Amino acid sequence: MTDEIEKGHAGQAFGDFLKEQGTYEETTEVAVKRVLAFQLAEAMKAQGISKVEMAKRLETSRSQLDRLLDPEHDGVTLGILARAAKAVGRGIRLELT
């Protein structure tokens, strides 16, 4: 027997595990929303944009902006995400996989 550690994967890919469990799509959607909310909040913070100012830029209410920034809220449209990205000088890139 050798003490060398075998290189490579220790098991199946996490995505494969989620697919087996039947939760891949749901988990992916939640993860994407969390990442987008985080990136938007970070862009606002980096540029010193308050929630009040951001809501004005989006021509929406502060409560609507709070829903957009809430990683748990999944009722966000692509349109509002694109407007929010533009408001902080960013864009959105989507792809089908």
Local confidence pLDDT in tens for the 97 residues of the chain:
555 555 655 667 887 888 888 888 878 888 888 999 999 999 999 999 999 999 999 999 999 999 999 988 888 888 999 999 999 999 998 887 7
- Count of domains for the chain: 1
Q: Is residue 92, in this structure, part of any structural domain at all? A: no
Q: Is residue 63, in this structure, part of any structural domain at all? A: yes
Q: Model's pTM, two decimal places?
A: 0.74
Contacts for 50 with CB less than 8 Å, ≥ 6 apart: 44
Contacts for 19 with CB less than 8 Å, ≥ 6 apart: none
Domain that holds residue 52: 24-87
- Residue ranges of alpha helices (H) inside 7-77 are 14-21, 24-47, 51-58, 62-69
Q: Is residue 97, in this structure, part of any structural domain at all? A: no
CA gap 5, 3 in Å, rounded: 6
Q: Is residue 14, in this structure, part of any structural domain at all? A: no
Give me the CATH number covering residue 60: 1.10.260
